[in-house]
Amino acid sequence: MNTLNRFAIPLALCALAGGADASSHREAPFITTAPKVDASDFYLFRSYETGRSDYVTLIANYQPLQDAYGGPNYFSMDPNALYEIHLDHNGDAKEDLTFQFRFKNTLAGNGAGVSLNIGGKAVGIPLIQAGTVANVKDANLQLGESYTVTVMRGGRRGAQAHAVTNAANGSSTFDKPVDNIGVKTIPDYAGYAAKHLYNVNIPGCNQPGRIFVGQRQDPFAVNLGTIFDLVNAPVSVITDPALIGAVPNTIGDKNVTTLAMEVHKSCLTNGDDVIGGWTTASLRQARLLNGQPASGHHASEKAGGAWTQVSRLGMPLVNEVVIGLKDKDKFNASKPSGDGQFADYVTNPTLPALLEIALALPGTAPTNFPRTDLVTTFLTGIKGVNQPKNVVASEMLRLNTAIAPVPFAQQNRLGIVGNLLAGGSDNAGFPNGRRPKDDVVDISLVAVMGGLCMANGNSDALGFGAACKPSAVPLGATAFKLHDAVDQAKVPLLAGFPYLNTPIAGSK
């Protein structure tokens, strides 16, 4: 599947398609026209916050590349869209549990908005705020954004929906904080956002969970401009481990919108410790634009018909740099159960060859076709690590919930590959789920150029067997040195839920 290729991402990114941005930003032709439902990153990991180790954190980010100064409307979510996080707990490539998020945008004054008396006339203001904002449902907010979360067990369509509720008051409606407009409007954004973190009751789960939905600083790090310009960097730089943080993070000043949940691990499994996860977004099949809209919010559009999936994201970077351009929209509309149609993109990846071209290093791409090492690692999970008991090969993040989390400071930024090389005890990282600190760009580089085979070694620690013939891994140990010169581990993060940092402010 395309998971394998996404490993080649950092350097080959550039050669594939100039429209892709960070982890999965603007990755397919259609999604560039619908940024509000564009999924950028998906994270799935055992919570490493102190006292929360029995919980699993799920984070789905949308609306990538937000400029902090993006007013006056900023980045509210689409009320005509359905945002979902899916979990498979038996390895059959079908969702067994789905969390559905729906949003509602409401103008103050029962839809009339906020007005000022101008020369004896009440005139509506042009901004979404009329003064300093500090509280939930703040009176100075002209636009209030709320959402609901429902649980679907079994198929995501047709099953009975059960509402997630606020543990404090039983309400099924939650308020979302306004984006970080700036320090004059919201002097203490961290404190304001924290008021929108909810303890929740999840139907079918006897343990309370937590939910946060709101703007965050983009946690992904990548050297975008250089990568898309045919890897416009000296080979001597991107193969020197001492220069791993040689250049700034291109998207370090961007924000995203985060849907974050923390759920007790016992509520996500069913006879197997391994779960798979992915996130999607869907729009209504029909859309009618009103050429003469009435006053109100989102008054120009009416949507109807069946839900149509337009975004899909499990493993990072798959659709940008693995799936061929002609199939990118098809992949975004597909389900894991149908991933066989994309198998050639994984077993016979183009990214290693593109990397050879971009770096002018002929003869460096592995030739162990079909690339079953990548199929095992990214489509079925690694046996003994995160492979389900009965697995159908498909693209999604897979997490072994029985593997204990590792404190942030001790996490290996190269995940399982780095842990093998260091002889450590951190098996809680990518591709066993994904944590915010995991440098998936560099891990992908290592994997696509045969680094997983080298790490596997004579002991066959990852169970690849003949798939890792030494003669078919030409880069050898050099694969471990590849990087994009941006250090993921330097991205600022929080010590606890929702883990992603306070968003960049529009003014300081």
CB-count burial class (<10 Å; 0-12, 13-18, 19+) for 384 = exposed
Number of domains within the chain: 1
Q: Within a domain: residue 79?
A: yes
Which residues, at least 6 apart from 289, have a Cβ–Cβ distance to it below 8 Å?
300, 301
Q: Using CA of residue 123, residue 127, residue 132, residue 137, what is the dihedral sign?
A: positive
Which of 437-466 are b and which e, b meaning 16 or more Cβ less than 10 Å from the residue's Cβ? Answer: bbbbbbbbbbbbbbbbbbbbeeeeebbbee
Which range of residues forms the domain containing residue 45? Answer: 2-490
Q: Within a domain: residue 265?
A: yes
- Average pLDDT, integer, range 270-282: 97
The CA distance from 54 to 401, in Å, is 9
- Percentage of the chain exceeding pLDDT 70: 90
- Average pLDDT, integer, range 350-361: 83
Element (H, E) at 76: none
pLDDT confidence tier of residue 3, bands split at 50, 70 and 90: very low
CA 475 to each of CA 145, 261, 352, 367: distance values in angstroms, whole numbers, following the listed order = 51, 40, 11, 11
Provide the CB-side half-sphere exposure for 205 (13 A, CA): 27
**What is the pLDDT, as a whole number, of residue 49?**
98
pLDDT confidence tier of residue 361, bands split at 50, 70 and 90: confident
Q: Within a domain: residue 235?
A: yes
pLDDT confidence tier of residue 9, bands split at 50, 70 and 90: very low
Pairing of strands 81-88, 174-176: unpaired
Pairing of strands 174-176, 121-124: unpaired
Q: Tokens in use for 1?
A: 């599947």
Q: What are 191-239's pLDDT values in tens digits?
A: 999 999 999 999 999 999 999 999 999 999 998 777 767 678 888 888 8
Q: Is the pLDDT of residue 5 over 50?
A: no
Asked whether 197 and 210 are in contact (CB, 8 A), the reply is yes
pLDDT confidence tier of residue 458, bands split at 50, 70 and 90: low
Q: Is the pLDDT of residue 151 over 50?
A: yes
**What is the pLDDT, as a whole number, of residue 473?**
52
**What is the pLDDT, as a whole number, of residue 136?**
98
Q: Within a domain: residue 495?
A: no
Q: Tokens in use for 381?
A: 């999970």
**What is the pLDDT, as a whole number, of residue 340?**
94
Q: Within a domain: residue 501?
A: no
Q: What are 17-61's pLDDT values in tens digits?
A: 233 334 556 788 888 889 999 999 999 999 999 999 999 999 999
- Average pLDDT, integer, range 450-476: 62
Q: Is the pLDDT of residue 182 over 80?
A: yes
**What is the pLDDT, as a whole number, of residue 381?**
93
The CA distance from 421 to 431, in Å, is 15
The CA distance from 260 to 212, in Å, is 5
Q: Within a domain: residue 264?
A: yes
pLDDT confidence tier of residue 462, bands split at 50, 70 and 90: low
The CA distance from 493 to 484, in Å, is 21
Q: Within a domain: residue 357?
A: yes
Q: Within a domain: residue 503?
A: no
- Average pLDDT, integer, range 325-343: 94
Q: What is the 3-state secondary structure (H, E, C) of 176-211?
A: ECCCCCCCCCCCCHHHHHHCCCEEEECCCCCCCEEE
**What is the pLDDT, as a whole number, of residue 417?**
83
**What is the pLDDT, as a whole number, of residue 197?**
98
pLDDT confidence tier of residue 469, bands split at 50, 70 and 90: low
Q: What is the DSSP string of 417-469?
A: HHHHHHT-S--SSTTBSB-TT--HHHHHHHHHTTHHHHHHTTTTTT--GGGG-
Q: What are 410-451's pLDDT values in tens digits?
A: 999 999 888 887 888 899 999 999 999 999 999 888 887 777
**What is the pLDDT, as a whole number, of residue 456?**
66
